[in-house]
């Protein structure tokens, strides 16, 4: 019997609602399998906590989280707390503090009717973004000069270390091999305008592509990539991108797969020196929070990614099969997908499909 200790940070808004459903699925799986169980420890960190105690999480938060096998996060951010504070003091703190330098974001179309390109005959989309997650444009380096004067200047410096850039690209190439789909890695760049960071990025990508000769490579500027993702999404397999470019393009990807309600994510520390964290791409969506309107599939898919990472791929696949099955009955989905069901009804349905599949 393997028991996993999971830290649960539901966060704010719909994060709290979708987390319930993710946990429901894990409890269902452990009920059906005698060889796996989960101990959940809940942390009420987030914006409400900030408004009460003046901090997004405890000072020794990372120390506490270090002990777990994995972290599940709902979403953080809420009106009344500046986004850059909620992001920096919780999400970025964990990603950077635990060296979760890989952000994995699958973009897979489950039902062609969810794709905004359905009238163009697009039916097959199955790519995965490997986004650098700890440095790049989000390194937090910079400052304000001559603040408050007419000469005021804001500087935001990107940081690309060779160590991390190489590791991110290695991860992407290995993933392309493991997936064994198109056996291709696409690199997103902007070396015509960013003459230090992206020229460096291109150089490391070239070195790595020489190491993995069996994998096809291509390299596009970020503007062109966004166009190609719309024109021919089926030609992408693994896409490797910097923190900022990956952030933006994966929202575009989320739209291609039917919206943020489908967009799952994993923040991974591949060496397992620290726990990894699994969270949907979407935010706390304050205007639909507390109404049972949130689609829990992105959260449940993120839970699947956690099981994959914990080397329970068979269980992860069962979740994925259940999601694919659930998406077929359109009435029984949340309103973002045109259905009439509530958040918890969708969670219940996915659990009952898992149970039926045995």
Query: Is the CB of 125 or the CB of 254 nearer to ligand ATP?
Result: 254
Q: β-strand 102-108 against 266-268: which pairing, if any?
A: antiparallel
Q: Is 165 exposed, middle or buried (0-12, 13-18, 19+ CB in 10 A)?
A: buried
Q: Using CB under 6 A, which of 77, 258, 265, 316 touches ligand ATP?
A: 77
Residue-wise over 176-207: b if at least 16 C-beta within 10 A, else e? beeeeebebbbbbbbbeebeebbebbeebbee
Q: Which does 11 bind (CB under 5 to 8 A by kind): ligand ATP, Mg ion, none?
A: none
Per-residue contact flags (x/-) with ligand ATP for residues 7 to 26, judged by CB under 6 A? -------x------------
Cα gap 288→12, rounded to integer Å: 12
Decide: is 74 part of the binding site for Mg ion (CB under 5 A). Answer: no
Query: What's the min distance (Å) between Cβ of 77 and Mg ion?
Result: 7
Binding partner of 176, given Mg ion, ligand ATP, none, CB within 5-8 angstroms per partner class: none
Q: Which stretch binds ligand ATP (CB under 6 A): 1-9, 98-106, 212-220, 292-300?
A: 292-300
Q: Which is nearer to Mg ion, 10 or 283 (CB)?
A: 283
Using Cβ positions, the residue closest to ligand ATP within the complex turns out to be 283
Q: Is 287 in the site for ligand ATP (CB under 6 A)?
A: yes
Q: Which two tokens stand for residue 80?
A: 């009344």
Contact status, residue 76 vs residue 11, Cβ threshold 8 Å: yes
Stretch that binds ligand ATP, among 28-36, 75-83, 122-130, 234-242 (CB under 6 A): 75-83
Site residues for Mg ion, 269-288, by CB under 5 A, read 283
Among 30, 269, 284, 302, binds ligand ATP (CB under 6 A): 284
Cα of 327 vs its chain's centroid, Å: 20
Rounded Cα distance, 161 and 168, in Å: 11
d(CA 284, CA 174) in angstroms, rounded, equals 33
Q: How far apart are CA 254 and CA 263, in angstroms?
A: 5
Q: Specify the stretch interacting with ligand ATP by CB under 6 A; choose among 39-47, 52-60, 182-190, 276-284.
A: 276-284
Spatial separation of the C-alpha atoms in residues 286 and 78, rounded to whole Å: 7
Q: Is 83 in the site for ligand ATP (CB under 6 A)?
A: yes
Q: Assess contact for 274 and 267: CB atoms under 8 A.
A: no
Pick between residue 15 and residue 283 the one whose CB is nearest to Mg ion.
283
Q: Site for ligand ATP (CB under 6 A): which residue of 260, 319, 320, 350?
A: 260
Kind of pairing, strands 136-145 and 266-268? unpaired
Binding mask 116-135 for Mg ion (x = CB under 5 A): --------------------
Question: How far does CA 158 lie from the centroid of its chain?
Answer: 21
Binding footprint of ligand ATP on the chain (CB under 6 A)? 14, 75, 77, 83, 260-261, 282-285, 287-288, 294-295, 298, 336
Binding footprint of Mg ion on the chain (CB under 5 A)? 283
């Amino acid at each position: 019997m393997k028991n996993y200790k999971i830290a649960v940070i539901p966060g704010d808004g719909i994060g709290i609602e979708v987390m319930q459903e993710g946990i429901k699925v894990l409890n269902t799986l452990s009920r059906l399998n005698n060889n796996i169980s989960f101990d959940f420890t809940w942390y009420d960190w987030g914006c409400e906590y900030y408004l009460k105690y003046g901090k997004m999480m405890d000072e020794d938060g990372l120390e506490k989280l270090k002990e777990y096998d994995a972290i599940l996060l709902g979403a953080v951010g809420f009106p009344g707390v500046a986004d850059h504070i909620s992001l920096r003091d919780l999400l970025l703190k964990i990603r950077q503090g635990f060296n979760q330098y890989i952000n994995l974001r699958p973009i897979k179309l489950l039902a062609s009717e969810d794709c905004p390109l359905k009238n163009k005959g697009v039916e097959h989309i199955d790519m995965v973004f490997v986004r650098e997650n700890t440095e790049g444009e989000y390194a937090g380096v910079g400052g304000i000069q001559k603040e408050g004067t007419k000469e005021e200047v804001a500087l935001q410096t990107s940081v690309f270390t060779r160590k991390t850039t190489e590791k991110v690209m290695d991860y992407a190439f290995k993933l392309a091999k493991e997936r064994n789909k198109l056996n291709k890695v696409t690199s997103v760049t902007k070396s015509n305008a960013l003459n230090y960071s992206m020229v460096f990025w291109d150089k490391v990508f070239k070195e790595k592509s020489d190491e993995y000769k069996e994998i096809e490579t291509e390299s596009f500027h970020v503007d062109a990539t966004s166009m190609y993702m719309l024109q021919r999404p089926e030609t992408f397999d693994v896409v490797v991108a910097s923190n900022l470019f990956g952030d933006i393009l994966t929202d575009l990807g989320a739209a291609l797969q039917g919206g943020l309600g489908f967009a799952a994510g994993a923040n991974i520390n591949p060496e397992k020196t620290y726990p990894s964290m699994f969270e949907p791409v979407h935010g706390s969506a304050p205007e639909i929070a507390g109404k049972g309107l949130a689609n829990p599939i992105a959260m449940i898919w993120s839970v699947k990614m956690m099981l994959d990472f914990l080397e329970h791929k068979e269980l992860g696949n069962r979740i994925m099969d259940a999601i694919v099955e659930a998406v077929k009955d359109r009435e029984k989905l949340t309103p973002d997908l045109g259905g009439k069901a509530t958040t918890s009804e969708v969670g219940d349905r996915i659990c009952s499909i898992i149970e039926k599949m045995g």
